[in-house]
Structure 1
Amino acid sequence: MNSILVGVCGWGDHDDLYPPGTSSKDKLPIYTGYFPIVELDSTYHAIASSERMEQWVQATPDSFQFVVKSYRELTGHGRKQGAPIRSWKDNVLEMRASLLPMKKAGKLAAVLFQFPPWYDCTAAHVKYIRKVREAFRDFPVAIEFRNRTWFDSSYRDKTLHFLEQEQLIHVVCDEPQAGIGSVPIVPKVTNTDLSIVRFHGRNVEGWNNTGRPDWRDVRYAYRYSDEELNEWIVHIKQLQQNANQVILLFNNNSQGDAVDSANKMICKLGLDYLDLSPRQLEIL
């Protein structure tokens, strides 16, 4: 498997990948003709059944990989209105059962636990992350922080050491520097098996909730310039030296820019994926 995998977050919303009128069920097989990995983010809103996960396993090439986003109640985001009321243990058991088909198929790159902007660096939150690590001890677990306190000068090294001790994968972020609810670029490896980078864009104005009704739609509206992507080449090479594999995921898709950014990065890194699905139609 290539030591650097590049993909985007979700496969349903990238209209420039699909012929007009493509049904939802046909999008993933087409997606796998362009990228070797995807972030499965619908699992943040609802835990997918193991049957559904098995369908996605069967719809992808043998080498294809998924980064699966953890259910929102397991990362402190609370219960979605209308969602069933379940205990923490029940959510863990259901999430674990959901992940098994991908794990058994060798297609589960990591389970992504993305904590909210208010999830600051406290002893209670450290204890909770240890609880998550124990509950998913036999899964590759990636941790993404969105509160700057984890990387303040007095906590940065301690945070990285904690992740390393627990064999957790530190998710490196490229995102707007927009106050306490954002984190700086910290290109460090805490688990030698894998490093993950998520590119959220640099839309400073749209990052924080300003009361706009379309805030979530514009938050990730950003197209990376060539110069901004070039800045990352050194970081990626550094991560590659310390991890067996590096995964780059582009989430800057509020206005459909993620595929463009991902393809540019593939070109800049000189990557050539030989085990993609055959393309039925050359669109890009």
Structure 2
Amino acid sequence: MVHYPVSGRIQVSQIFIGTSGFSYDDWKGNFYPDGVESMDYLYFYSKSFNTVEINFTYYRFPGSSVFFGMCEKIRNAGTFVFSVKANKIFTHQRDYTLTDARNFTDALKPLKDNARLGSILFQFPYSFRCCSENLGYLAALSESFSGYDICVEFRNVLWLKEKVLKVMHDYNIGFCNVDEPQISGLLPQTDICTSETGYLRFHGRNSMSWWNNEKAYQRYDYMYSMLELKEWIPKMKNITASSKKTFVYFNNHYKGKAAKSALMFLDILKTENIYTSQN
């Protein structure tokens, strides 16, 4: 597919690997030792990863004090950064005002001021169809969040068109590549870059429970194998070759499987010399 390589770059892409969320009760005993209190989860997490994707922001607008506290907890964690999932008002309801956009970004000020802000992820639902009106919505969204690194995740394969990717590039919107069940309507595995930011999310491959599940967690109750993760080596090489920074997040969060999968993937990238000490 489309790549827009960053010209004049000397160093390799800086790679950030982590999980979607970090505060889950069922991670205790699976990732967090029994003796670690929930208030210390982020500090413990930062010992293994250099980024996390904050997802509670999808459900409610955050307060800046929350992110200030997070910065304090990882103040000695080197280049650790937070990517933030955009609130549903921007992706599912799509009736936001400029005041909403300003309030959302104002809350991120502690992250931005401390160089801890990665990207803002806008994950659109499957029902968000590819049409000129919605393409215009993406352009307007970019303008509403001018000055911020933003990436878009589509759930509908009909968005996978050259003209869409061209618009995303023109408006400096990053494309979120995904690993998810290969079922009709969803996106295949890609290695697309439309901005200086590469983005990749692993959702698991539960084909049977993706659309039909009694409980929400069943969609993400999946443990990747080493072989499945190694499939991404060629694509990761392409993504990192076309970006200044690359974010990778595992969303198969049930019982700490995201953390375990992320650690496996990190080891693979180190073995392949994709993730080096420069990262």
Report if TM-score (shorter chain) is over 0.5: yes
The one-letter code sitting in structure 2 at the alignment partner of 1:236 is M
**Mapped partners of 2:37, 2:88: distance in 1:** 27
CA distance in 1, matches of 2:151, 2:56: 17
Query: Are 1:177 and 2:182 counterparts?
Result: yes
Structure 1's unaligned 5+ residue stretches are 79-85, 276-284
Structure 2 counterpart of 1:27: 41
- AA aligned opposite 1:90: T
- For 1:145, the aligned partner's letter is F
Report Cα offsets for 1:207-248 as digits up to 9, x if no partner.
11x2x431x110111111111111101110111111112111
CA contact (8 A) 1:195 1:246 kept: yes
CA contact (8 A) 1:222 1:255 kept: no
Shift of 1:24: 2.3
Matches for 1:79-90 after TM superposition, within 5 Å:
88-90=97-99
Q: TM-score of the superposition, structure 1-length normalised?
A: 0.86
Counterpart of 2:52 in structure 1 is 38
Aligned-partner Cα distance in 1 for 2:78–2:245: 17
SS in structure 1 opposite 2:52?
Answer: strand
Could you tell me which runs of 5 or more consecutive residues in structure 2 were left unpaired when the two chains were aligned: 1-11
Query: The residue matched to 1:102 in structure 2 has which SS?
Result: helix
Is 1:226 aligned with 2:235? no
> 1:108-127, aligned counterparts within 5 Å?
108-127=117-136
Pairs within 5 Å for 1:1-284: 3-13=14-24, 14-15=27-28, 16-20=30-34, 22-60=36-74, 61-77=77-93, 88-151=97-160, 156-180=161-185, 182-192=186-196, 194-208=197-211, 210=212, 212-214=213-215, 216-270=216-270, 271=275
Cα drift, residue 204 of structure 1: 0.6
Aligned amino acid, residue 99 of structure 2: D
Do the aligned residues in 1 keep the contact of 2:176 with 2:198 (CA within 8 Å)?
yes
Amino acid at match of 1:12: S
Distance apart, 1:44 and its partner CA = 0.6
Residues paired across the two proteins, number: 259
Kept after mapping to 2: 8 A contact 1:77/1:116: no
Q: TM-score by structure 2 length? A: 0.87
Matched position secondary structure for 1:133: helix
SS in 2 for 1:219: helix
Cα pair distance change 1:103/1:87, threshold 3 Å: same
Deviations 1:182-221 (A, max 9, x none): 21122111112x101000111111111x2x431x110111
SS in 1 for 2:232: helix
Query: What amino acid maps onto 2:181 in structure 1?
Result: P
| Shift in alpha-carbon separation, 1:177–1:64, aligned structure 2, 3 A | same
Give the Å deviation of 1:51: 1.1
RMSD: 2.0
